[in-house]
Amino acid sequence: MRRSVNAATVAAVGIIILADLIVANPALGSVAGFLTGLVVFLAAAAAIAGSLSLVVRHGSRFAHGIDRVGSLAVLVGMALVLLPGLAPGSSGADAPAVRWVVAALLAPLVAAIFALLFPLLLAAARRGLRLRGRETALMLTGAAAVLVLLLPIGGEPGVWLASVAGWVQAVPVAAVFRGLLLGVAAIGAVTAARILLGADGIDD
C-alpha cells in the first residue's frame, strides 16, 4: 500500500510538471513552480543527509582503524571544499578561499582525470579492434574526422574546416545527443516506474 501511494505521488508530480511545460496556464504554472521548489528542497536535503552519512561512515572507519588513509583523505577533502564556503562571513561560491580551493585543488584533479582519457581510449581502441574490428574502425574513423575538423588551420582551409565542424556539431552530433538523452530519460522513467510499482524483480 505504501509503495502504491509513493508511486501515485511521484506520477502525479511528474504529470503536473510535464503538463506545465506543454500547457500555458497561470494556475498550473504556480502549482508546478511550487512542486519544482519542493523537489529542489528535497534534493538538497538528500544531498546534506548523504554528506553527513559519508562523514559518519568514514569517521567510524577511521576510528576503528579500517583504511585510515582513505577515510582521512575523504574527510580532509570534504573539509577543504565545504568549510571555506560555510565559514562565517563567507560569500559562498564567490569567496576567495572557495575560488582558491577550486583553482588549486579541484581543477588540477579534474585535469589529471581527463589526462587519463587519452591512454585509456588508446587501450580501448586496441581491444575493440581485436574484438569488434568493423564497429571499432567505424568509430575511430568518426573520431579522426572530428579531430581533423578541429585542427587550428588558418586561411581558407581553416575557414572551410570551421564551417564543416559547426555543421557537424549542430546537425549529426546534436541529433545523436538528443537521441541519447531521450533514450536515457525513457529508460530512467521506465526503471523508476518498475521500482515504485514493485515490478523491478520481474524480467519482461
**Average pLDDT of every residue of the chain:** 82
DSSP string for residues in 8-51 = HHHHHHHHHHHHHHHS--HHHHHHHHHHHHHHHHHHHHHHHHHH
**Residue 68 banded pLDDT, cuts 50, 70, 90:** confident
In this prediction, what percent of the chain has a pLDDT beyond 90? 7
Q: For residues 13 and 36, what is the distance between their CA atoms, to the nearest angstrom?
A: 9
**Which residues, in sequence order, are CB contacts of 153 under 8 Å at separation 6+?**
161
Contacts of 17 (CB under 8 A, 6+ apart): 32, 35, 36
105, three cell numbers = 585543488
Band (pLDDT 50/70/90 cuts) for residue 32 is: confident
Say what the pLDDT of residue 132 is.
80
pLDDT at 53: 92
Phi/psi of residue 90, each to 5°? -75, 145
pLDDT in tens, 114-171: 888 888 888 888 888 888 878 888 888 877 887 787 778 777 888 888 888 888 888 8
More confident residue, 7 or 20: 20
Distance (Å, whole) CA 124 – CA 126: 5
User: What pLDDT does 46 receive?
Assistant: 92
CB atoms within 10 A of CB 22: 8
Is the pLDDT at 197 greater than 60, yes or no? yes
Provide the pLDDT for residue 189. Answer: 79
- Residue 178: its pLDDT value, please? 92
Under 8 Å between Cβ of 82 and 98: no
Q: Quote the pLDDT of residue 204.
A: 46
**Can you give the pLDDT at residue 49?**
92
Does the pLDDT value for residue 10 go beyond 80?
no
- Segment 195-199 mean pLDDT: 68
Q: Using CA atoms, how far apart are residues 150 and 28, in angstroms rounded to an integer?
A: 46
Residue 203 has pLDDT above 70, yes or no: no
> At 199, is the pLDDT very low, low, confident or very high (cuts 50, 70, 90)?
low
What is the reported pLDDT for 3?
Answer: 62
